[in-house]
Amino acid sequence: MAADEKAKIDSLTLMIKEIELEQKKLDSNIVSYNQKIDEVDNHIDKIKGQKTIVKEIYHEKISSVDKLTVRELDSFFTDRYK
């Protein structure tokens, strides 16, 4: 094998090792981002649950609006929209 061919092979081997190192760094970043995505997903699920509870509470109150007096109605909207 000629010296220049051996040098090219060595150069390519070095480049491959550098690329593999960069790939490991990227893989580490991907793992970190996936963990953050999981945290955000959990937070979204928690908010959805809270939203459902609030929706049910106000649905009950809205359903009973026909039975409220003017003062109770005013108090309801004051509490809801502050």
Spans in the chain with pLDDT lower than 70: none
DSSP one-letter code for 4: H
User: Phi and psi of 68, rounded to 5°?
Assistant: -85, 150
Instruction: Quote the pTM value.
Output: 0.56
**Domain boundaries of the chain, sorted by first residue:** 3-81
Q: Convert the pLDDT of each residue in 36-49 to its tens digit.
A: 999 999 999 999 99
Positive or negative: CA dihedral 61, 62, 67, 68:
positive
Residue 62, both tokens? 């809205």
User: Phi and psi of 60, rounded to 5°?
Assistant: -60, -45
What's the pLDDT at 79? 82
User: Phi and psi of 2, rounded to 5°?
Assistant: -75, 155
